[in-house]
Amino acid sequence: RLASPVEDIDAQSPKKQGTAGTKAAKLKSPKKSPAKNLKFVGAHVSASGGLEHAVQRAVDIGARSFALFLRSQRQWASKPLTQETAQRFRKACREHGFAPHHILPHGSYLLNCGSPDPEVLEKSRATLIDELKRCEMLGLVYYNFHPGSTCGTITREECMDKIAESINQAHKETTYVISVIENMCKQGHTIGGDFHELRGIIDRVKNKSRIGVCLDTCHAFAAGYD
């Protein structure tokens, strides 16, 4: 039986080590206590310097949930995620009380899983698979990304077909992470500004248990929803 993501984080987290170096570091930079509010409110935080630092930055602003990038959001190439980094992230989440379902990784801005350009589509699909695998290494359950764009050269139905095909392919390569498509603001040729387009993508995804929607209220307002 596959462990649930919550169990997985606990199981994979490294044991606490009480070295003199870490004790000294804690004295110099005391950590804040996790937020005690009852609502799971947070923000997108920087993962600069290592993914585990995103956890501390969320704690520093009093968040009980947070979003982050798992790799560079503006270039295709990225260093592999190491087991050591994944373990440090899991440990930080456990120590500060962040459950996997209160953490939302955001996909690369380069992704266009509905691209009419074969090269861009191939790179987007490879990146989507890579990021879902990173989520699984980190014990996370959701992955949020912008669906895609027709680039003005294919129909919106054709674009939705490609987006769903990309998601289905990524699901075959991974185990449990839920692909969370974000509503857009009807800018240019993007897909997802109309809610029926999100429904159209979901209808085409084979594993309905692994597809969800992130409602961006600013995007919705810009798209004409009040």
* H or E element that contains 125: helix 118-138
User: DSSP 3-state helix, strand, coil percentages of the chain (rounded to 5)?
Assistant: 45, 15, 40
pLDDT of res. 39: 83
Three-state secondary structure call for residue 182:
strand
Indicate the pTM of the whole model: 0.83
Domain 5-13+35-222 has CATH 3.10.450.750: no
pLDDT of res. 15: 38
Q: Which residues of the chain have pLDDT under 70?
A: 1-37
* H or E element that contains 58: helix 51-60
pLDDT of res. 192: 98
pLDDT of res. 143: 99
List phi, psi (to 5°) of 60. Answer: -60, -25
The string of pLDDT tens digits covering residues 179-218 is 999 999 999 999 999 999 999 999 999 999 999 999 999 9
